[in-house]
Amino acid sequence: MQDHDHRKELFSRPHLWLIALAGVIVPRRLRADWRQEWEAELRSREALLADWDRLDWRNKFDLLRRSVGAFWDALCLQPRRQEDEMFQDLRYGYRMLLKYRGLTVVAVITLGIGIGANTAIFSLINKALLRPLPVVAEQERVYAVNHTTKRGWVFTTFSYPNYRDLRDRNDVMAGLIAYEFAPANLSYDGINERVWGYLVSGNYFETLGARAAIGRLISPEEDRLPDGRPVVVISHRCWQRRFGGDPSVVGRELIVNGRGFTVIGVAPRQFIGLEVSYAPEVWFPLMMRGVIRRSAAMPQGSGKSWLEDREGGELFVAGRLKPGASPAQAEDALKTIAAQLAREHPNENEGKTIELSTPGLFGEVGRRPVMGFSGVLMGVVALVLLLVCTNLANLLLARAMDRRKEIAVRLALGASRWRVVRQLLIESLLLLTGAAGEFKAPMALSTELNMDWRVLVFAIAITFLTSAAFGLLPALQATRPELVPALKDEAMSLGYRRSWLRGALVVAQVALSLVLMISAGLMLRGLRRSQYINLGFNPQHAVKLSVNLDLQGYDRERGEQFQRQILDRVRALPGVRAAGVGNYVPPDLHVAVLQVKIEGRPEARGGEAPLAGSASASPGYFQALGARLLAGRDFIEQDDERSVRVAVVNETFARSFWPEQNALNAAVGKRFSLADRDNSLIQVVGVVEDGKYRNLSEASRPFVFTPLKQSYNGLSTVVARTSSDEASAIAAIHRELRQLDPHLPIYDAKTLTEHLELPLLPARITASMLGAFGILSLFLAAVGVFGVMSYVVSRRAHEIGVRLALGAKPGAVLGLLLRQGMTPVALGVALGLIGALALTRLMSSLLFGVSPTDLLTFTGVALLLVTVALLACYIPARRAMKADLAASLRHE
């Protein structure tokens, strides 16, 4: 009755009601005192006010306001919860983790690796692929424009007239920009350096939404007339690094490629344009192309200036969608314009159409391999995380089984079911905290990586859900009020279902680790093979150094003289066995691709024409590279402007265009023409072995070399084969170059072996990661099998004892146990093989000379896994057989 009155009173006085509510969050230990104190104060105040006859609504409101403050008071008491149940649970959980020390260590380490690897890889990919480009406004509405042909070739670059028509005729883009890579020789304060830059259309900065840090940026006005406005915008970094952040740099004159350019402004901090892996220091108006890219801007075979020549082109094109336009609409609209252009200029544009892609990775060409590579990485770490989760589930399941009796005791003593479940959850949480602490250290070291916290939270959440699910499942079952059998330690009543669950987990573990290990095996074999891959040249004992004569203002005559002089000097150096000059050393992503027309065959136009890679080389170049001539002859000094045009083609070129028998010899003497020349016929004089021209995993493609004297190129790479030390050869050639022209910047001075390191890098990273994860997964699978087997054996100890006592042969019992343990393993291996067959296909771009279904790797790895699993089964089984027979029979 009294209680009822009290309640009634609470409802009539909301301020007391609030205190009752706030009291809920006060730590239980303090709650009674706390409530009493507040209630007493409020009631005494109430009484006081009533005495004064002033308990009107204003004072009631004041009382209410004061009781709201009680919430703050209650919140501030939260740190005093130590003695509360949660902390009891935490302490108890901590003690349990220490008790099951082996399990804790394994779980913490594997969790740490799983979460850490995922976070690291996702952060990396995030940075390369998903992270917005700095400064660029509303980046999701900016698209790169690509040219594609019916044969599946993708061109990421356009000629100027094609760009201009696309820009002026479309009504779907708020701005269509063009930009071109432009290395430049920069001179200031007596320093000569080659820097990376961009030639950009006048609407470039405006379309991308960039505002100058100081000064102003290039405007359409500055990009109107060819060679009209020699101005330059420098990057924020360049401004800080080269000019010490001095604001007076605006208006200053810099010498670029021998000509004065006025700095008009500094680009915003961190702005790099649209390519993530290219950080330019300078931007020039596109109309200054004649100065910046002297040789490329010179009239090609057709005799037209670059402003008029529709063929080829080196302009990357990107655009910002107009408000309301969708990417699909824009693509359709641009396709229509491309079709118009194909009708108007069939020679150059027939068969070409337009495709939009996400900017950032050199259009589609760069995107595909990068996506492939990162796809493999992400797949691998996702597998690892999955594996870690299964392993964790297995361990927790095992432990929960072990603790069935303990849980039953707690329930029998009156603990609520929720309390026990909460206890188990807290233990899972503690495991995770340990794991997070463990990998925080290595992550902190790699500050370069800019760990993404969202990813970290994601990985932790996934593992927490796993551990919660698998920690809870048995807990919920164990806390069912069937205490008697559990208390009596009756194992048999456990039933079949839960061992089925464990079996399934082992199947998953074995399958996952088999996939990982096979991938690792393939990568490692591929890397070993890559040492024997046919590069088409011999990287040993050879060096290369590059200079760009065009940028330094050499005309063709002086350039040829320079090339002749440097070759003479290098050949005279002691230890140099052969030397040559070329504009390209394979493999290199920047290789010219030209249309080929074979003499006497019908001409294919536009996108239909066959294509071949092309480079120019001096006599001695093949010898210096160590490339074998298979037929015909090398270039000679007499192959010059006055003589017949000649070429050395590769084996694939010869075989695909003259597929007669004994094609190599048959090709010599045949004639063809290339699209960028004046269509004059070129005679094949030699056939050189196939090589790797763009990257190491490409299929063989046609390639043609023309003599440097017939196709002059100022981009000169000296290649020398030496019998002496490579480093001293580089130093000696460096010295000779300096003597010829002390102002010429020299770059990429390295041995050919070093030159090969870059294309091999993704494979190396993947291989070392997969290798580490492969070993880890083998270990995890072994732990899983071992755990299941130990569990099965301990359950059946009694049965084994009975069997042995009745005279069963130990071998037969052992066989029985092994069969039971190995059944899920066999199933897992089968599933894993199927999974690996499906998945390893994705990695084919990273495998050198190894099939993604390499039989040796598949069987070898499967055998290794089965052996380890067998061992993991055998050890507990053996232990059970050796156990004291009498003891196991006495069990109950």
Partner 1 sequence: MGKYLSFTVAVILQALDNGYQYGFDIMDITGLPSGTVYPALRRLEEGGYVDSKWEKQAIAQSAQRPPRKYYELTKEGKEALAEAVQRYSLLKRTQAQPAPKPKPSRAQ
What phi-psi label fits residue 586: left (phi over 0), alpha (psi between -120 and 50 degrees) or beta? beta
Alpha helix ranges (H) inside 531-588: 556-571
Angstrom CA distances, 739 to 566, 579, 728, 743, 744, stand at 10, 18, 17, 10, 10
Residue 790 Cβ, how far from partner 1 at the closest point, in Å?
A: 51
Complex with partner 1: residue 40 or 856, whichever CB lies closer: 40
Indicate the residue among 84 and 676 with the shorter CB distance to partner 1: 84
Of 619, 632, 635, 638, which is closest to residue 579 (Cα–Cα)? 619
Half-sphere exposure (Cβ direction) of 312: Cα atoms closer than 13 Å: 23
Q: Which helix (H) or strand (E) holds 426?
A: helix 417-445
Half-sphere exposure for 366 (CA within 13 Å, toward CB)? 19
CB of 25 to partner 1, least distance (A): 14
Are 218 and 233 spatial neighbours (Cβ–Cβ below 8 Å)?
yes
* Between 73 and 588, CB nearer to partner 1: 73
* Shortest distance in whole angstroms from residue 41 CB to partner 1: 5
For partner 1, which is the closer residue by CB, 39 or 634? 39
Q: Which token pair is 605?
A: 């136009």
Q: What is the closest distance, in whole angstroms, from the C-beta atom of residue 17 to partner 1 in the complex?
A: 16
State the nearest-atom distance from the C-beta of 57 to partner 1, in Å.
19
Question: At closest approach, how far in Å is the CB of 89 from partner 1?
Answer: 25
Cα three-residue angle 270-272-275, rounded to 5 degrees: 135
Token pair belonging to 807: 């005279």
Residue 697: what are its φ and ψ, rounded to 5°? -100, 5
- Pairing state of beta strands 259-266 and 231-234? parallel
What the block records as the tokens of 314 is 């080196």
Q: How far is the CB of 18 from partner 1 (least distance, A)?
A: 11
- Give 62 or 489: the residue with its C-beta nearer to partner 1: 62
Under a CB-based contact definition with an 8 Å cutoff, are residues 612 and 704 in contact?
yes
- Residue 84 Cβ vs partner 1, minimum distance, rounded to whole Å: 16
Closer CB to partner 1, 36 or 680, in the complex:
36
Q: How far is the CB of 42 from partner 1 (least distance, A)?
A: 8
Q: Of the two residues 61 and 72, which places its CB atom closer to partner 1 in the complex?
A: 72
Please identify, using beta-carbon distances, which residue of 56 and 884 lies nearer to partner 1. 56
Question: Which long-range contacts link 632-637 to residues 24+ away (Cβ below 8 Å)?
Answer: 632/668, 632/684, 632/685, 632/686, 632/687, 633/685, 633/686, 634/686, 635/685, 635/686, 635/705, 635/707
Q: 2: how many CB neighbours lie within 10 A of its CB?
A: 6
Cβ 35 to partner 1 shortest distance, Å = 9
Name residue, tokens 């188990």.
424
- Pick 43 or 571: Cβ nearer partner 1: 43
- Count of alpha carbons within 13 angstroms of residue 770, beta-carbon side: 31
Residue 19 beta carbon to partner 1: minimum distance, rounded to whole angstroms: 11
**Residue pointed to by tokens 């010898």:** 623
Return the number of the residue (9 or 227) whose C-beta is nearest partner 1. 9
- Going by C-alpha positions, the residue among 317, 376, 367, 296 that lies closest to residue 176 is 317
- Residue 1 or 445 having the CB closest to partner 1: 1
Length of the chain: 892
Compute the least distance from the CB of residue 13 to partner 1, in Å: 12
**Closer of 77 and 371 to partner 1 (Cβ):** 77
Angle between helix axes 57-76 and 28-51 (nearest 10 degrees) is 160
Alpha carbon distances (Å) from 508 to 63, 133, 296, 382, 435: 63, 40, 58, 14, 23
Minimum CB separation of residue 27 from partner 1 in Å reads 12
**CB of 233 within 8 A of CB of 283?**
yes
Question: Which is closer to partner 1, CB of 19 or CB of 231?
Answer: 19
| Nearer to partner 1 among residue 11 and residue 418 (C-beta) | 11
Task: Mark residue 258 as left, alpha or beta (left: phi above 0; alpha: psi -120 to 50; beta: remaining).
Answer: left
Smallest separation, CB 82 to partner 1 (Å):
13
Q: Select 36 or 859, whichever has its Cβ closest to partner 1.
A: 36
Of the candidates 735, 863, 761, 877, the one whose C-alpha atom is nearest the C-alpha of residue 816 is: 877
Alpha helices in 263-326 (DSSP H): 289-292, 294-297
Give CA–CA dist 677/794, Å, rounded.
82
Q: Give the nearest distance from C-beta 31 to partner 1 in angstroms.
A: 14
Distance (Å) of CA 583 to CA 268, 371, 674, 717 = 35, 30, 17, 6
Q: Minimal distance in Å, beta carbon 61 to partner 1?
A: 14
For residues 170 and 176, give the distance between their C-alpha atoms in angstroms, rounded to a whole number: 9
Q: Nearer to partner 1 by C-beta: 74 or 370?
A: 74
Binding site for partner 1 (CB under 8 A): 33, 36-37, 39-41, 43-45, 47, 65-73, 76-77
Shortest distance (Å) from residue 72 CB to partner 1 = 3
Nearer to partner 1, 76 or 444 (CB): 76
What distances in angstroms separate CA 782 from CA 865, 868, 869, one per listed residue?
Answer: 8, 6, 6
